[in-house]
Amino acid sequence: MPPKKAAKGGGAKEEAPKKEAKGGTAVKVRHILCEKQGKALEAIEKLKSGMKFNEVAAQYSEDKARSGGDLGWMTRGSMVGPFQDAAFALSNSSCDKPIYTDPPVKTNSDIM
């Protein structure tokens, strides 16, 4: 890359301070909430068999999973500890090829 040219008028441009890279502050989260671990494990088996995450959420989640378990965008500090840790640790994925927690997150029995 060629060096930056000095600004007209003879003065050199001041460089902006370098910013440190930080992890994301928000993630889009889907979950399947099961009160009993056995039901959560059944849901995980469905995911392993290739069933789409949103379909498993509609069938197994005990909350309002009408939107396929979609909780929308969540920020750091807006989720309980283990759920937040998992949400920010998982790689990006889609409903067709989900990446999820196995074993379930221990808040109740959440699968993200």
Q: The domain that contains 38 carries what CATH number?
A: 3.10.50.40
pLDDT band, very low/low/confident/very high, at 85 (cuts 50, 70, 90): confident
Report pLDDT for 52. Answer: 92
> Per residue in 51-74, pLDDT tens?
998 999 999 998 866 678 888 999
Q: Does residue 98 surpass a pLDDT of 70?
A: yes
pLDDT averaged over every residue in the chain: 76
Has residue 8 been placed in a domain? no
Q: Could you read off the pLDDT of 34-57 as tens digits, one per residue?
A: 888 899 999 999 999 999 989 999
Residue 57 lies in a domain: yes
Question: Is residue 76 one of the residues assigned to a domain?
Answer: yes
Instruction: Give CA angle at 102 (45, 111), nearest 5°.
Output: 80
Domain ranges, residue 87? 26-111
Q: What angle do CA 103, 104, 106 make, to 5 degrees?
A: 120
Task: Specify which residues 110 forms β-bridges with.
Answer: 33, 105
Model pTM? Answer: 0.66
